[in-house]
Each structure stands twice: as C-alpha cells, then as structure tokens.
Amino acid sequence: MSFGKLLRPALVALLLALVLRPTWFIPLFRPLAPAGGPVIYERASLLSLSLSHLGLVAAASAAATVVAVTMAILVTRPAGAAFRPLSRTITNVGQTFPPVAVLALAVPALGFGAGPTLVALFLYGLLPIFENAITGLTTLPVATMEAARGIGLSRLQILLRVELPLALPVILTGIRLSVVIALGTATIGSTVAARTLGEVIIAGLLTNNTAFVLQGGLIVGLFAVLIYDAMVQLERHLSRRMDSASSLS
Amino acid sequence: MIEIDRITKVYEGQIAVENVSMTVETGTITVIVGTSGSGKTTLLRMINRLEEPTSGDVRINGDSTRSVRPHILRRRIGYAIQGHGLFPHHTVARNIAAVPDLLNWPRDKIRARVDELLALFSMDPAQFRDRYPAELSGGQQQRVGVARALASRPDLLLMDEPFGALDPIIRNRAQEDLRRIQQKLGSTIMLVTHDMEEAIRLGDRVAVMDGGKLVQHGPPAEIITRPATDFVANMVGDVERPLRLLSLIPVIEVMEDGRVEGAALSTQASLRDALSACLWTGRAEVPIERDGVLVGRVTLDAIRARIGSHA
C-alpha cells in the first residue's frame, strides 16, 4: 500500500505540472524537439485542451452509462428477457466498429468538431458497461432477492434498494473500463477537429516533433492511470462492507 | 386466525398442492412437515402470495389475502427463510427496520423496536446495531433474519426452513429461542421443515404433507401415536417413536413423592431427559427439583407405564 501512497501524489503532482506549468519541462523536452522548433505546444493552453478532453469523455461515458444500465435493467426484467440476445448484438456491434470508422461516417452527418467524437466514444463505451450491468443484475444472492419480495418490497423498491446497490460495484467496473478506453480513444477525435489532447500529439506527428507527441501522450496516460486508480478505490470502498474481509485483502 | 380454504396450485399440468384446508389459531405454532416435493413450501408461499393459488382462498382474521395487492399484503406477514436473506449492504439495524421503514413508522419508534428485538435475541444492541451481516456468525445472521420478520409485529410469521443452514448445536439454540420468543410475544407462526424432530419440538400443531396433499394435521402427540398413513408413520420413524413421544411429556406428569440422591432435573424437563438420566446413572429413579428445591422423583417404571399406555 505504501507504493500507492507515495506514487499516487507523485503522479498527481507530475500531471498538474505538465498541464499548468509546461514551461518547467523545456530542458527535459528540448533534445526531442527539432532544432530551432518549439518545445512546448503553445497554440492552445494545455489546461483548456485537458478540460475539453475530459469533458468529452465524461459526457460520452455518462450517456453510455445511462443507456447501457437502462438497457441492462430492461432486459433483466421478466418482460424484457426476450430482448437480451438482440441488445447484446447491438452493443457488440458498437464495440467491433473501429472508432476511426465511426468518426469518418459521422462527419458527413454531424460535421467536424466534438459531435462525431462524442458518438464514437458513446458507442465504444456501451459494451463494457452493459455486459457488467447484466452480470451484476443477474448474479445477485438468491436468498436476498427472495427475502426482498417476501417482506413486501415493490418491484421498483427491489430494483432501487436492493438490485442496483448490490450490482453497483460490478457496474462501476464496467464504467471504469469504458472511461479508460474513452480517454485514449478521444485523442483521435482531433483528426476531425474535436478539441482534445490528441491535438498536441497530432501536431507533433505532423511536424516530426517528438516533444509534442510525448507531452500529449504523457498527459493522457497520466489521466487514464489516475482516473482508473480512483475508480478502483471507489469500487473497493463500496464492496468492502458487503464482502467478508477475507475475500478482499 | 388463519384459514386456508381448499387451496390448490397447479404448475403446467402438475399438481403441486391439492385442495388443502386448515385453520391456524392465533398465538400458536403450526409446523408443516414433508419431504422435498411434497408441496409444503408452495403451500407456505401461497399464504403471502409469493405464489398465486390456482384456486381456493386464504383468510387472515377473516380478510381474504386477495383483497390487497401482494406487496402490501406481505408487509403484514413476517417472512424468514433458510440462509436468512439479509441485505448485505445494510447494517443490522437497517435490515431489522426494513418493514417498519416500508410502513413509514416514525424514526424513534423504529430505533426502539430494533433495540428491543436485538435484546430479545440476546444480541447487545450497542454492539450489533451498526454491523454488516458479513460481520456476523451464521447463528447471529439467522437471528437477525427472524428479528427482521418480527419487526412490524405481523399478524402472522411464515418461516421456510429457517434453521436449515445452521449446525445442530446452534439449531437447537435457535429453536429454543423461537419457542421462548413466540410465547413471550404470542405470535402466530407457520413454519416449514423436512425434519420431523423439529416439527415435534416446535409445533403446537403439526401438518404432514405428502404428494401435494395434507395427510394429517394435529397435535404432535397425535401424529406420533396415531399416524394417519404409513407415510406419516415413516416420517415419525418407528424406532424413535417412543423417544419422540417422551420428549413431549413433562416430568411433572408422572412425578411422585419421595427423595432420591443424585443430580436433579428441573420440573421443565421432559420424560426423555428423565429416561436419559436414569440410563446414564444406572439408577431406576431420578430426583426432580423446582427452583433448587427437591420436589419429588420420576421412576423408570412410571416412564414405562406412561409410554406403554400408547402401545
């Protein structure tokens, strides 16, 4: 645990420095930049790019969560069970389609900018959340469900008070996977002019500036690692009191 | 009073429960006993409408269970099951408070009721109130499950193999607790089990189910001494019949005057305990005491005479 205790604040500090005080890193990146070329990306502030990047990911993941969890709830009700295979197929297609292809197809319909990126991230994020929500909602303890009905909870009360809280840690795992995939995938949104950290990476690739590529890549990577870690902590916290201490360790 | 009136359940052409009628008096324990597939659990689950009867009716204090919506009905009927079914994400207090909470009891009344029930089940409220079910032993979880079922002072408590998952020693203790608490609260209980021993121990009345039919319904002594069918006789067990009967008769019934030496039994003990004490000590009689004072004795002859009268 001491590893996490030391490493976590160090990574947060590094990320904040990279985003807020990029000029501190000029000596470090200078050897990677082309001679006489810029070392630090300055066409847009890294802070605003980061916020826009995170905003896109948050919006797409939130929408994917709402849609995927709602679908999972519907197909785990007795009346919706028949639609489970169909909904699985749909979300699987969303995952198989390469995000670049979605971007290409969405541009004619939605124009350049954040729109196509949101659609691609949304479609890409559905599957992990949907699959985990189904797993969470179908592997609830039988005796608890039986007791919930037996003591007089209505169907809505069972869903809200028992099923969703008990499935929450598993659903969160799905959301975590989806968010981390989206954080990386969002960078290619900049090929269709969405404002993301991909802009820095792409600028670097176009001008042979490895310093830019590294800068953009580091920031995205650190966001992914730290957000992943934060969500793992949250899942642990939620499931800790439910499980016996031994099954966690 | 609970009246079960010609109730039948048919699953896809298979009859699970066939035309069962019985009446359960308020303040008594009725144990429904049978093998698996006998329809005993289905019968129980039709009372709180976890299963809808195909035909027939159930009335609680005169009101048909069909007159209210199922989940509203269930809030008036306690329900405890094998493996307790506690909510793992709620504390002990919140678990016990589940039904009072659904019924919108005021907070302080709920808190008082939770503490009262924990104390009743010999669990210190301050120590257990805020624990999660995973932090309790199997016996404690089971007690919390029964406490939850009793929390709103229901008209009727249904129990489906409530002690099935407990080891024998804890099961004994749980059965004694249930008896004690039922007598204290005057609850009406219907309990399903496959264990005839449990049925005889707990039941004021025992109902034996076989193949979906109610084959005998009566006091435990009658089930033992006059089994209605071979199946019932089989369930009672020929070899153990005398011992089971003895366990129902208090020593006080055949106690006679006279002082004898040795470790005394209490007047609450059964003839089975007395017989066991005689056999173990090698004597023909055992002293009986009440509140530490010797009040008489029970002899082997008296036990033999009492049991022989049924042969």
Q: Is residue A143 part of a domain?
A: yes
Average pLDDT, chain B: 89
Q: What pLDDT shows up at residue A67?
A: 93
Contact B67, B61 (CB under 8 A): no
Q: What pLDDT shows up at residue A3?
A: 62
Closest listed residue to residue B274, CA positions, set B292, B296, B291: B296
Distance between B86 CA and the closest CA of chain A, angstroms: 6
Domain B2-236: CATH architecture, name and number where available: 3-Layer(aba) Sandwich (3.40)
Phi, psi of A147 (to 5 degrees): -65, -40
Please tell me the total count of domains within chain A.
Answer: 1
Find chain B residues with C-beta within 8 A of A161's C-beta: 87
Give pLDDT tens digits for B125-166: 999 999 999 999 888 999 999 999 999 988 899 999 988 888
Q: Which residue in chain B is spatially nearest to A167 when comparing CA positions?
A: B89
Could you tell me the pTM of the whole model?
A: 0.79
Say how far apart CA B282 and CA B258 lie, in whole Å. Answer: 18
Contact B157, B149 (CB under 8 A): yes
Instruction: End-to-end CA distance of chain B: give it in Å, rounded.
Output: 35
Contact A189, A120 (CB under 8 A): yes
Find chain A residues with C-beta within 8 A of B79's C-beta: 147, 150-151
Confirm or reject contact between B50 and chain A (CB < 8 A). yes
Distance between B122 CA and the closest CA of chain A, angstroms: 23
**A143, A152, A154 ranked by CB distance to B99: nearest:** A152
Q: Which residue in chain B is spatially nearest to A247 when comparing CA positions?
A: B134
Find chain A residues with C-beta within 8 A of B135's C-beta: 244
Q: Do A152 and B84 touch (CB under 8 A)?
A: no
Q: Which of residues 148-187 of B touch A (CB under 8 A)?
A: 148-149, 158
Give pLDDT tens digits for B70-118: 999 999 999 999 888 899 999 999 999 999 999 999 999 999 999 999 9
**A145, A155, A165 ranked by CB distance to B89: nearest:** A165
Beta bridge partners of B192: B32, B160
Give pLDDT tens digits for B246-256: 888 888 888 88
Contacts by residues B12-16 (CB-CB < 8 Å, ≥ 24 positions apart): B15/B212, B16/B42, B16/B212
> What's the token pair of residue B273?
């305990």
Q: For residues B27-56, give the mean pLDDT.
A: 92
Q: What pLDDT shows up at residue A244?
A: 44
CATH number, domain of A154, equals 1.10.3720.10
Find chain A residues with C-beta within 8 A of B84's C-beta: 143, 147
Going residue by residue through chain A, which has 249 residues, state the pLDDT in tens, using 9 for 90 and above: 556 778 888 888 888 888 787 778 777 777 777 777 777 777 778 888 888 889 999 999 999 999 999 999 999 888 888 888 888 888 888 778 787 888 888 787 777 877 888 888 888 888 889 999 999 999 998 899 999 999 999 999 999 999 999 999 999 999 999 999 888 888 888 888 788 888 888 888 888 888 888 888 888 999 999 999 889 988 888 877 666 433 333
Counting one residue from A and one from B, how many pairs have CB atoms under 8 Å apart?
Answer: 73
Closest listed residue to residue B143, CA positions, set B125, B117, B167: B117
Confirm or reject contact between B48 and chain A (CB < 8 A). yes
Domain at B249-308, CATH homologous superfamily: CBS-domain (3.10.580.10)
Mutate which of B51, B86, B87, B192 to test chain A, going by most A C-beta atoms within 10 A?
B87
What residues have CB less than 8 Å from A107, skipping those under 6 apart?
A: A116, A192
Confirm or reject contact between B105 and chain A (CB < 8 A). no
Confirm or reject contact between B146 and chain A (CB < 8 A). no
Q: Is residue A10 part of a domain?
A: no
More confident residue, A20 or B9: B9
The domain segmentation of chain B, as residue ranges, is 2-236, 249-308
- What residues make up the domain containing A84? 39-241
Global ipTM: 0.78
Distance between A8 CA and the closest CA of chain B, angstroms: 29
Helices and strands of chain A, counted as H and E runs: 11, 0
Q: Do B99 and A147 touch (CB under 8 A)?
A: no
Say how far apart CA B22 and CA B203 lie, in whole Å. Answer: 15
Q: Is residue A14 part of a domain?
A: no
Say how far apart CA A64 and CA A125 lie, in whole Å. Answer: 6
Helices marked H in chain B: 40-47, 70-74, 92-96, 98-102, 107-120, 125-128, 138-150, 168-185, 196-202, 220-225, 230-236, 241-248, 271-281, 300-308
Polymer length in residues for chain B: 311
